[in-house]
Amino acid sequence: MKILVTAISFSSKISGIQRHAFNLVRCLLAHPEISAVHLVIAPWQQEMTQSAGLTRDTRLYIHVAHLKPGSISRNLWHYRDLPKLAKHLQPDLIHLTYPIPIDAASLACPIVLTLHDLYPYEIPSNFRFPRVIVNRLTLRQCLRNVDAIACVSDVTLLRLKQFAPQRVWSNAVRIYNCVEAAGSDAAKTPLPEMYSNPFLLCVAQHRRNKNIPLAIRAFSSLLSKSEIHSSTNLLIVGITGPETASIQEMVAQRSLNKRVLFRDGLSDSELQWCYERCDALLVPSTTEGFGLPVAEGLLAGCRVVCSNIPALREVGGKHCRYFELGKDEEQSFATEITTSLKHPKPRAIHLPHLSPATLASEYIALYRQVIEKRFAQIASEPNHSKLRDGSALREV
pLDDT at 313: 97
C-beta neighbour count of 339 within 10 angstroms: 13
Q: Which of 329, 292, 309 is nearest to 122 (CA)?
A: 309
Could you write out the three-class secondary structure of 158-216?
Answer: HHHHHHCCHHHHCCEEECCCCCCCCCHHHCCCCCHHHHCCCEEEEECCCCHHHCHHHHH
Rounded to an integer, the average pLDDT of 321-336 is 96
Per-residue confidence (pLDDT) for residue 55, from 0 to 100 = 67
Of the ranges 161-175, 182-196, 321-335, 379-393, which one carries the lowest mean pLDDT score?
379-393
**Closest by CA position to 89, among listed 395, 391, 368:** 391
Average pLDDT over residues 330-353: 95
Beta bridge partners of 111: 94
**For residues 205 and 237, is the Cβ–Cβ distance under 8 A?**
no
Of 31-45, 103-117, 263-277, 377-391, the range with the lowest mean pLDDT is: 377-391
Q: What residues does 10 pair with on adjacent strands?
A: none
What pLDDT score does 147 carry? 96
pLDDT of residue 15 exceeding 90, the answer is no
pLDDT of 148 strictly over 50: yes
For 130, counting Cβ atoms within 10 Å of its Cβ (0-12 exposed, 13-18 middle, 19+ buried), the class is: exposed
Q: Using CA atoms, how far apart are residues 383 and 121, in angstroms rounded to an integer?
A: 41
Burial 262-301 (b: 16+ CB within 10 A, else e): bbbbbbbbbbbbbbbbbbbbbbbbebbbbbbbbbbbbbbe
Question: Looking at residue 182, what is its pLDDT?
Answer: 66
| Residue 121, pLDDT above cutoff 60 | yes
Average pLDDT over residues 26-50: 92
Model pTM above 0.75: yes
pLDDT of residue 57: 83
Q: What is the mean pLDDT of residues 151-173?
A: 95
Q: How confident is the model at residue 392 (pLDDT cuts 50, 70, 90)?
A: very low
Q: 100 — alpha (psi -120 to 50), left (phi > 0) or beta? A: beta
The more confident residue out of 377 and 9 is: 9
CA distances, 315 to each of 181, 301, 312 (Å) = 15, 15, 5
Q: Which of 42-56, 85-99, 214-228, 278-292 has the lowest mean pLDDT?
A: 42-56
pLDDT of 252 higher than 80: yes
367 in Cβ contact with 358 (< 8 Å): no
What pLDDT is stored for residue 372 in this prediction? 92
129 pLDDT exceeds 90?
A: no
d(Cα 175, Cα 154) in Å, to the nearest integer? Answer: 9
State which of 44-53, 128-137, 362-371 shows the largest mean pLDDT: 362-371
Alpha-carbon gap, residue 210 to 201, rounded angstroms: 13
**E strand segments, 286-345:** 304-307, 321-323
Look at residue 93 in the predicted model and tell me its pLDDT: 97
**Position 383 confidence tier, pLDDT thresholds 50, 70, 90:** low
pLDDT mean over 255-284: 92
Under the banding of pLDDT at 50, 70 and 90, the label for residue 185 is low
Alpha helices in 15-130 (DSSP H): 16-29, 46-51, 71-76, 82-89, 119-122
DSSP annotation of 288: -
Contact call for residues 304 and 223 (beta carbons, < 8 A): no
Say how far apart CA 12 and CA 5 lie, in whole Å.
18
What pLDDT score was predicted for residue 381? 73
- Tens digit of each residue's pLDDT (9 = 90 or more) over 236-249: 999 998 999 999 99
